[in-house]
């Protein structure tokens, strides 16, 4: 088992954004977190990465409790987050942004050249400043920076947000290579079709809780949609 989240509670002040969430991700598995805006998906990813403190529960990586380990140390232990909005250094070049991932100090196969092979659209932009990139190029750079840390677990937050369908196709085509190569991925995605096409399992969140979970092959789009909007709960109460 690579990642275990156990009874996790996370707050934003008085608001409980994540409520008693438990799930595991096996090595090489891709798990999609889906749900409407405000469901708690981003907060959950940030808590796993150490970017947001938890108020209860545990996060374990290969049976090691990392719940109170600072974010920068979690990167060094193999957990990398690609945040919503990319968060690149706009005045630094693509290459410089990528090389920041090496500061984690983890041994591994990821190099600038390998990132270029995974995201060929970046090759001609390697020495361009990140602030001049298109949305798709920025997303590729953000993913590449995370990969440069040689992570065991890659957390991807809203990969397709703000991108055209064609650009999203290109990004997902590159991600499929990572998935086939055995990278462990937790993916936040609002596009149900894309999430269910690439993930081994789907976890649907509603109001901070996981309300539906299962292998993608055993869930229908209708089931996930009902959970997404809380319709299953309304039907149960009727």
Any residues with CB less than 8 A from the CB of 48 and at least 6 apart, and which?
3, 5, 59, 79, 81, 155, 186
pLDDT at 123 over 90: yes
Residue 2, token pair as written in the block = 């690579």
pLDDT bucket at 234, cuts 50 / 70 / 90: very low
pLDDT bucket at 144, cuts 50 / 70 / 90: very high
> Model confidence over 32-68: pLDDT tens digits?
999 998 999 999 999 999 999 999 999 999 999 999 9
pLDDT at 235 over 50: no
91, 132 contact by CB (below 8 A): no
pLDDT at 84 over 90: no
Per-position DSSP letters for 129-150, written without gaps between them: BGGGS-HHHHHHHHHHHHHTT-
pLDDT bucket at 89, cuts 50 / 70 / 90: very high
The whole-angstrom separation of Cα 90 and Cα 217 is 41
Question: In terms of pLDDT, which residue wins out, 159 or 76?
Answer: 76
> Model confidence over 127-140: pLDDT tens digits?
999 999 998 899 99
pLDDT bucket at 237, cuts 50 / 70 / 90: very low
Residue 212, token pair as written in the block = 């539906």
Domain over 3-237 is classified CATH 3.40.50.10090: no
pLDDT bucket at 238, cuts 50 / 70 / 90: very low
| Residue matched to tokens 């050249």 | 113
> Model confidence over 172-191: pLDDT tens digits?
888 888 888 888 999 998 88
Q: Which residues on neighbouring strands pair with residue 30, listed in sequence order?
A: 185
Handedness of CA 9, 192, 212, 177 (dihedral sign): negative
* List of long-range contacts for 198-204, beta carbons under 8 Å, 24+ apart: 198/30, 198/32, 198/172, 199/30, 199/31, 199/32, 200/29, 200/30, 200/31, 201/29, 201/30, 201/31, 201/32, 202/31, 202/32, 202/34, 203/23, 203/31, 203/32, 203/33, 203/34, 204/34, 204/35, 204/228
pLDDT at 232 over 80: no
Mean pLDDT of 26-36: 95
- Count other Cβ atoms within 10 Å, centred on residue 70: 11
Please state the pTM of the whole predicted model: 0.91
């Amino acid at each position: 088992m690579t990642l275990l989240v156990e009874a996790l509670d996370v707050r934003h002040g008085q608001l409980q954004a994540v409520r008693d969430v438990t799930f595991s991700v096996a090595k090489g598995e891709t798990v999609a977190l889906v749900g409407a805006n405000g469901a708690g998906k981003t907060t959950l990813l940030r808590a796993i990465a150490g970017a947001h403190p938890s108020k209860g529960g545990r996060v374990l990586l290969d049976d090691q409790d990392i719940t109170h380990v600072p974010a920068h140390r979690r990167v060094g232990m193999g957990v990398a987050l690609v945040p919503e909005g990319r968060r690149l250094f706009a005045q630094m070049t693509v290459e410089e942004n990528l090389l920041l991932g090496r500061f984690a100090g983890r041994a591994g196969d990821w190099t600038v050249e390998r990132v270029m092979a995974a995201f060929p659209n970046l090759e001609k932009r390697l020495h361009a400043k990140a602030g001049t990139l298109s949305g798709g190029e920025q997303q590729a750079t953000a993913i590449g920076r995370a990969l440069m840390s040689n992570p065991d677990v890659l957390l991807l937050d809203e990969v397709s947000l703000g991108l055209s369908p064609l650009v999203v196709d290109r990004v997902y085509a590159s991600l499929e290579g990572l998935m086939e190569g055995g990278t462990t991925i937790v993916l936040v995605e609002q596009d149900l079709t894309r999430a269910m096409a690439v993930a081994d399992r789907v976890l649907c969140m509603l109001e901070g809780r996981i309300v539906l979970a299962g292998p993608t092959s055993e869930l229908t789009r209708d089931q996930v949609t009902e959970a997404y909007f809380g319709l299953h709960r309304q039907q149960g109460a009727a």
